[in-house]
Amino acid sequence: MRLFSAFGVVALISLSMTSPEAIAQQATDAHAPESASGLANKTTVHAKEQMVAAANPLAAEAGLDILRKGGSAADALVAVQTVLGLVEPQSSGIGGGAFLVWYDAETGKVTTFDGRETAPAAATPELFLNQQGEPLAFFDAVVGGRSVGTPGVVRLMETIHKRAGKLEWTTLLQPAIRLAEGGFTVSPRLHALIEEDKGRLDTQPSTRAYFYDKDGKTLTVGSILKNPDYAETLKRVAEYGADGFYRGPVAEQIVAAVKAHEGNPGLLTLDDLAGYEVKEREPVCAPYRDLEVCGMGPPSSGALTVGQILGMVNTFDLGSLGPEDPESWRIIGDATRLAFADRGRYMADSDFVKMPKGLLDQDYLKARAALIRRPTALGADDVKAGDPPWDKAELRIDGRSLEQPSTSHFVIIDKAGNVASMTTSVESAFGSRQMAAGFILNNQLTDFSFEPEADGEAVANKVEPGKRPRSSMSPTIVLKDGKPLHALGSPGGSNIIPYVANTIIALTDWGMNMQQAIDLPHLTNRFGTYTLEAGTEAEEMQNDLDALGFKTSIDDLNSGLHGITLTPEGLEGAADPRREGVAVGD
């Protein structure tokens, strides 16, 4: 089996993105016909001192322009996010939330900023139960106001700008304002997702009016889409800062949209918006080989679960096995299953829930890894939450929440060496399918467990007032000898975790560069079924994994990995061939 050949890994070229023509070429490549494997060929992008890797060429260009004006990674972050919210509204935006992992070049420290949405003060654990006390069907909960949490992105952008920004705040919002007023070209991906969501997106007045023409037809690829309401919102934020979003007319429009939905109104209030706070948190860091892998802790399960997977496979010689040996994927798959068992039992917003102190305890992970030292896959009865070291025991049962893979990730590195790795989301594609003041409102509350308890025992990730729903978003910075080596992350719902963990394994154990690691066909096993990426040579692993005792399936695994590696010669950026993203830099 030759995993690389499926993606037609091409010769690496040095591409310094210093001109509008080069950026335009990247945009053209992003929309080029797909390869025979169903993926567009992309190549490593090289830059000397600054770079942006993001999910849309217009957003990446906006960020690079800010860097060229002397802005920091914190400044560029604002431009990238506000443009993404316009041109990729299905994935992220100012009506959603985000996690940021930040490396400060001056102090040499990694910190994280939690801009995750919060449940309204009026929310109860029964939020997603019907009158009979049964969980709502997923999309019955999503579409409308019930699923909308207090957005965190705007306050997060302001927080990091105050900490590390160099340019004026108003300057950073201008690229998105100009695009919103002048219009942008509808991309193939946006068109396809609008078309796919018919039956939900076109049933809601605000999204039907924006995403479909007067005859109800999906906006065509290449058509020009303007958003004057979004421009007005950003102008208000430019003038008043984040308070221009969380107070006043914009906040009033958000609350009105949430409460006015006829069939599924929500609980969000003006007080919820006015009281929202971004929380700076210590990073969760885990050792892997000679590296330190740092990411976002609770309410994200990302860094803990990635750290557990890496901690278990750290006891195996994956480098000698290589990516084409089914034994590598047996080890990785069962480590992922065991980590997800702990995730389902223990992980949630730690401001509300006591968590075991020892989820990343090395002795505990060695004991978990010992379960994998066998010739075949773990049986279903063997995959259970472990008993990591606790400060204080707490009753807990397993919970499951359904995360949708509609998110975005970007990485920015500036001339000073600051690194921003940010994953941002409205949760499901097009969030709650509600718009207010020109932007999509999230449905992040459906990341909570719909069932709060069973037989008197609590689910960690149940709904509670002011609580932040558990996430799988895994923005990551990998350090070597205390210095950044890689920065990466992905969308993909709970598949984000294996996407990121497997990419780190490919970078570290299999000697791949960032583009090769991102190109690698996906194989993920979270809950017992080993999913192999359709249309790639991962499918050829199916018989081998079946023989090892796994249940397997073949499906689309549409990641959106973006990453940058820091080398002695400069920066190497990569974008996922499965989406429209690019890396650009100087």
Q: Is 133 left (phi over 0), alpha (psi -120 to 50) or beta?
A: left
407, 476, 536, 552: which is the annotated catalytic residue? 407
Q: Which residues does residue 573 pair with via DSSP β-bridges, in sequence order?
A: 45, 564
Backbone angles phi and psi of 489, in degrees to 5: 175, 180
Place of tokens 């379960």: 371
List Cβ neighbours of 490 (8 Å cut-off, separation of 6 or more).
407, 409, 423, 474, 496, 499, 500, 503, 559, 560, 561, 562, 576
How is residue 33 written in tokens? 């016909």
Q: How far is CA 316 from CA 176, 306, 330, 332, in A?
A: 47, 16, 11, 10
Q: Check whether the bond before 299 is cis (ω within 30° of 0).
A: yes
DSSP 441-454: PP-GGGGSBS--EE
The DSSP H or E segment spanning 73 is helix 73-87
In 139-265, the DSSP E strands lie at 184-185, 224-225
Does the active-site annotation cover 407? yes
Sheet holding 45-47, edge to edge: 45-47, 570-575, 562-567, 483-489, 476-480, 291-295, 284-288
By annotation, the residues acting in catalysis are 407
